[in-house]
Chains A and B, each alone.
Chain A
Amino acid sequence: MTITYREALRQGLYDAFEKDERVFLMGEDVGKYGGTYAVSKGMLERYGPERVRDAPLSELAFVGAGIGAAIGGMRPIVEVMTVNFSMLALDQIVNTAAMLRHMSGGQFEAPVVIRMSTGAGRQLAAQHSNTLEAWYAHVPGLKVVAAATIDDAHGMVLAALDDPNPVVIFEYPALFELRGDVVHPSVDIATAKVMRPGNKVTLVTYGACLHKTLEAAEAVDGEVIDLRVLRPLDMAPVFESVRKTRRAIIVDEGWRSGSIAAEIMARIVEGAFYELDAPLARVCREEVPIPYPKHLEEAALPQVEKIVAAAKELLG
C-alpha cells in the first residue's frame, strides 16, 4: 500500500515516539493545530501535550530549549515551521548546538533533531520560499540531511535520533503528495545514493530537485545521485559515477553563489579532475528572491528542461 511523503514523515514520528519515551516533539502548531503541514496530525491526541508540545512563536528560545533538553538527557525533535523562520534560531543552532561538544572539550553533547521544511514552488513569494540548506551544511558540528524519498521521509528522523550529534533534517512541502512505499524501514544518514543508473552524464542533486532530475535523466541517459546527506558529504558515489560518465551536472534549488552545488563542483575538481571530459555545470536557483507570479517563480528554479538543456550542451 503506497503512502504519501507526508504520511511517511508522520509514520517516522510515530515510530520514534513508540521506540523511545524520551522523544518529544516541540514546535509551532505541532499539537492542537495538527502540524502546519498536517505532519503531526493526531499525535497530540495519542501522546498528550507533554510530548507533543506547542511552542509560542519564539524560534530562538524553543530551538534553544530543544538543545538544552537534549543536553539534559531528553531526545527532542524540534520542528521549525520553515527554514525561513530558522534564521531567528541560527544563534542557538550554530553557537550552541554545533559548538558545544568542541568548546567543552568533548564533555557535553546536544543530540537534538531539528526538522524544517524548505524550498520554493508554491507561489509563496520571497520570504517563504528560501532554500538555505547550504548555510547549515557550512557548519562543523552539525549533521545535515535532506529527505527526498518516501524511505528518507520516514527513516531519517529515526536515524537522526540514534545519532549523538545535532541533526538538521530538511523536508520538502513540494513533495508532500508524492506517493510510494516504505521499502527500507531503516535508513542511514551517512551515504549518498545512486537513484538511477546511467552512462552519459552524472546528475548530482538533493531534496525536491531529485524528482525533476530523475525525469530529466530519462532524456539524456543520466546517472542520478541523491546526496541525502549534505554534511558530512559522501563523495564516493559521485567520484565513481564521474569515472564512468566523465561529465557531471549539479542540480541545486539553492542560489548558486556559495551553494551546495559549488561545494560539490569543488570536490569533483579536487578529487576527480582528470576523469572529466567536459567542464562541470550546474543548474541552480537564479540569484533573485523568489517572485510571486507562477511563470517568474518557475523561471527562477531548476526545471526539467533546464537540466536537459544543460546536459545536452555538455554532451555536445
Chain B
Amino acid sequence: MSARFEIAPPPSGPVPYPRELSIKLLTDMLRIRRLEEKCAELYGAGKIRGFLHLYIGEEAVAAGSLPALAPEDNVVATYREHGHALLRGVSMNAIMAEMFGKREGCSRGRGGSMHLFDAAARFFGGNAIVGGGLPLAVGLALASQMQKRKRVTACYFGEGAVAEGAFHESMNLAQLWHLPVAWFLENNHYAMGTSVERSESQTDFCIKAAAFGMPTLKVDGMDVVAVHEVAKRACAQVRAGEGPVFVEFNTYRFRAHSMFDAELYRDKAEVELWKTRGPIHTFSARLKDQGDLTEEQFLEIDRAVMAEVQRAVDFAEAGAWEPVEHLLKDVYAP
C-alpha cells in the first residue's frame, strides 16, 4: 500500500458529551450523508443536473463546527456546501427543491447545487469561484465590526483556495483590521485532481496563516468531537474580539470531485484507508462503546433521516417550475 501521507488511526476514545448532544452530532452527519447519497442517485436519474459536489466523508467538519455558531453569526461557504446549508438550518426540502431547480428551492431555483443561499439563516452561499467567498467574509466581518456587533463570520473554504491570491489578500486584511472572522479551512487534500504536495511549496497551511500573525489551530476533521471542541474555542476567541482565527480541518472526500471523475489522481488504497476513518461509523462505534447508542437506536435514527430525505424528494418533485416569463427577475432591484 502506498499511502501518500501519514494517516492517523481512526478517531477513538470516549465522547465527553451528554448523550443528547452526541446523538445530535451523529444525526447531523447522517442527514448530510443520506441527503447526498440521494442526490447522487437523483443525479443518475437526471433529476439533478449541472455540477454536484458531494461532501461525503467530510461531514464531521460541518456537523462539529456549525453548532459553535450563534443564529446572528454569518456563514460563507463554497460550492461543496449542501451540508453547511442543511446544518445551518436551511430545510432539507428547500435544499432538495433547489437541486431540482424548482421555485420552492432556497434560492428559488436560480442557483442549484453550488448556489444555496438563505437570508434567514444568514447563509451567504454557495460561492462557486474558488476563493471567492473569502473577500466576501472579510466584508461581512468589517460590517459587523463597524456596527459594533459581536457577530462571528465563519468562512469555509477548501485548501485549493489557498493557492488563490484572494486567500492571501483576505488573510492580510482580516488580520490587519482585526476582523471577527473564523477561517475554516477544509483540507481534503485535493483541489479537484491536484494534490497539496503538487500545488503548494509550503504544505503546512497553519504556517501560512501564522505568517499573517494569525492564531492557528489544526484538528482531525474526521473526528466530530475534536472539530466541535476546536470550533467552539475559535468562535469564542473571535467573538471576544481577539481578531480572526484560522482553523485547519484535516479531512477527506470519499467521492469524486463532482459527480464523475476517473480518480486517476489518487490511489484506491488511499481512499480505502481514509474510509476506515469515516466520521460516522467511527463516532457511532465510540458511542456504542460507552453505552450511549445501540445498533437498534442507530437504525432508528437512520430510518428517521431517510424519511426526512424522502419527504424532501417528494417536496421537490411536487415543486413548481418558474414560468419562463419570470426569466429576467432578480437581476436588478424591482
A67→B107 contact, CB < 8 A: no
B124 touches A69 (CB 8 A): no
Task: Tell me, in angstroms, the Cα distance from A55 to B138 when the chains sit together.
Answer: 13
Q: Which residue of chain A has its CB nearest to the CB of B74? A: A72
Are A104 and B125 CB-contacts (below 8 A) given A68-B140, A69-B143?
Answer: yes
Q: Find out whether the CB atom of B330 lies under 8 angstroms from the CB atom of A106.
A: yes
| A73: Cβ under 8 A from any B Cβ | yes
- Decide if the interface of chain B is mainly helix, strand, loop or mixed: mixed
Report yes or no: B166 in contact with A64, Cβ–Cβ below 8 A. Answer: yes
Count of A residues near B, CB < 8 Å? Answer: 42
A73's nearest neighbour on chain B, judged by CB, is: B143
A311 within 8 A of B: no
A61 in contact with B142 given A102-B330, A103-B110, A107-B107 (CB within 8 Å):
no
A72-B74, A107-B117 known; A101 vs B330 contact (CB < 8 Å): yes
Does B217 touch A at the CB level, under 8 Å? no
Known: A68-B139, A105-B330. A58 touches B146 (CB 8 A): no
Q: Which of B19-27, B52-60, B128-136, B286-294 contacts A (4 or more CB under 8 A)?
A: B128-136
Q: How far is the CB of B89 from chain A (nearest CB, A)?
A: 14
Q: How far is A309 from B24 in the complex, measured between Cα atoms in Å?
A: 77
Complex contact B136–A71 (CB within 8 A): yes
B332/A165 in contact, CB under 8 A: yes
Among B169-177, B189-197, B198-206, B253-261, the stretch that binds chain A is B169-177
Residues in A whose Cβ lies below 8 Å from that of B143:
68-74
- In the bound assembly, the distance between CA atoms of A232 and B117 in angstroms comes to 27
User: In the bound complex, how far is the Cα of B166 from the Cα of A141, in angstroms?
Assistant: 22
| Total number of B residues with any Cβ neighbor in A under 8 Å | 43
A67-94 CB mask vs B (1 if < 8 Å, else 0) is 1111111101000000000000001100
Q: Which of B305-320 contact A (CB under 8 A)?
A: none
**Does the CB pair B135–A141 fall under 8 Å?**
no
A residues near B173, Cβ cutoff 8 Å: 55-56, 58, 61-62, 65
Supposing A60-B165, A103-B111, A106-B329 touch, asked if A69 and B146 sit within 8 A by C-beta, the answer is yes
B118 near A107 with CB under 8 A, answer yes
Q: B140 and A61: CB pair below 8 A?
A: no
- Whether B332 pairs with A74 at a CB distance below 8 angstroms is no
User: Which among A63, A70, A73, A141 is the interface contact of B331 at CB below 8 angstroms?
Assistant: A141
Interface residues of A (CB under 8 A from B): 24, 50, 55-56, 58, 60-74, 76, 91-92, 95-96, 100-109, 140-141, 143, 163-165, 232
With A58-B169, A63-B135 known, 17 other A-B pairs at CB within 8 A are A60-B135, A61-B134, A61-B138, A61-B166, A64-B132, A67-B135, A69-B139, A69-B146, A72-B144, A74-B142, A92-B136, A96-B127, A101-B332, A102-B110, A103-B126, A105-B117, A106-B330
B residues engaging A (CB < 8 A)?
74, 105-111, 115, 117-119, 124-127, 129, 132, 134-144, 146-147, 165-166, 169-170, 172-173, 176, 329-333
